[in-house]
A and B are shown apart, each in its own frame.
Chain A
């Protein structure tokens, strides 16, 4: 192939972009000050735009960098090491905020909006959730009715990330007039459209500078080419975008976790108690090793999901697994970091407390983990066939993986479709599956990264143990179901908390 001498390779582009991102962070981003101000200053948004951070996943044909999801994820992780609010702004824009337009927008609309989105002139936002409908998206009420050659939209979207300053909102709406009473569609609404208004910023536990608002749509009219994809295909598009977005979020979690681990390594080697560095105590060593191994597995799984996203195909299970694993992993790593920092961690100056606050939301948004797990487990029980994976050559892992496959098959044969509604069954199987996927991704990564062999081996050991623990717990499902039913019946009754009836 004859490549022009001055055309940079993908690796060179990424190298430059990482440098540019680090410069942006060093010059513009003071996470404590940004958090205290409760919003990302306009100056920081403008600098992010100049650094090309809004262009990551926009196609080159439309003024973007056209990066694969993996590379975009690397940048989001880099941002998340320093400031999760800024990372959330960029990640949401690259994921849910623009993905559906990039893939399903009409050419005219793509040509109109994508260059502005790449420039950061318009920032992307996504609205599916409503005040009464979160996990159950099928119940949303915002409605778009065909009128003339367009759509008339009424409703309200809650908790819209970037919503306060976004220039383009991609919304999931009901479109009963377009193919059936229960049809849904995705539609883009530009900020300046009459009838669109945004509420005040929400006050939050973490990512306090990330914009989170309610977006109201009163008698909003948009031409029909603001629809994305086929009329009535909205739920599929939303799931596709969520699959993509969850991968971005998973990679963001690796950045936060990397920060917490680095801070911990510095602290445990410097801080002395009982005449030695606290990092010399076995218990601390094990904690730090577990943090490092968890992060290794998180990176491996997020990377696998990102590569799968690039390859196309159904991302539902893998992206959910990566999102669950990385959000829980990041929270656990931040929590361990805080513990090992002692009082210093609880105080604000180290930044560890902020990292812990900031990553808590990732277990909730873009699908609460509890809900993703029961769905993942139901999917395992009805899958036509578990994707064939060759044995890994790691005996303990292979044994666990076979046990998981066997138990899925047994439960499927025993309970049929009813099994899919037993949440203790589905979520325990799903947790085991998440362990299997993370362990497998770690093993495969170690095969190409010999220097990581020891860390990978420890990660696989821990994941295999945890996976077996989840499978062992399948034995107690009936018992646990019964106890939970009985106890919750009591606990939900008025007398349980001392309230009078």
Chain B
């Protein structure tokens, strides 16, 4: 049964808090960009401030989708420009609302 894993896996069941989502997103981003997480700000633009190109942005979104076990559709990632917007999308998806 597919629900079996959910029942026994506490990690998958625990719903992270907003702060936790934000912190984990920053950590992932910092790893991809090889920089100190303390220097990453929520309001940072992925492109202008963080120097990400479309490929590193895809890598980031994809690792978020793994990390939080959520599906991110291609269409809903269009137009994301800041870390804030990315975190908002991920939070929304983790909470199960669209």
Contacts and interface: CB of A to CB of B under 8 A. Distances in A.
Contact of B55 (A375, A412, A418): A375
B56 A180 contact: no
A181 B35 contact: yes
Given A138-B56, A416-B65, A181 B72 contact: no
Contacts of A183: 51
Given A139-B34, A181-B35, A382-B74, A417 B61 contact: yes
Given A378-B58, A417-B65, A420-B62, A182 B51 contact: yes
6 contacts: A179-B48, A182-B35, A379-B54, A416-B71, A420-B59, A421-B62
Contacts of A180: 48-51
A416 B71 CA distance: 7
B53 A421 contact: no
Contacts of B33: 182
Interface size class of B (residues with CB under 8 A): 20 to 34
A217 to B, nearest CB: 21
B65 A418 contact: yes
A9 to B, nearest CB: 42
Given A181-B39, A416-B73, 14 more contacts: A180-B48, A180-B50, A181-B35, A182-B52, A239-B53, A378-B55, A381-B74, A382-B54, A382-B58, A416-B65, A417-B58, A417-B62, A417-B72, A421-B62
Contacts of A221: none
Question: Could you tell me the dominant secondary structure of chain A's interface residues?
Answer: helix
B95 interface: no
Contacts of A381: 74
Nearest to B32: A138
Contacts, number: 61
A418 B72 contact: yes
A377 to B, nearest CB: 11
Nearest to B64: A417
Nearest to B49: A180
Interface in B44-90: 48-56, 58-59, 61-63, 65-66, 71-74, 77-78
Interface in A39-63: none
B70 to A, nearest CB: 9
The 4 closest A-B pairs by CB, nearest first: A182-B51, A421-B62, A420-B58, A417-B61
A138 B62 contact: no
A417 to B, nearest CB: 5
B56 A418 contact: no
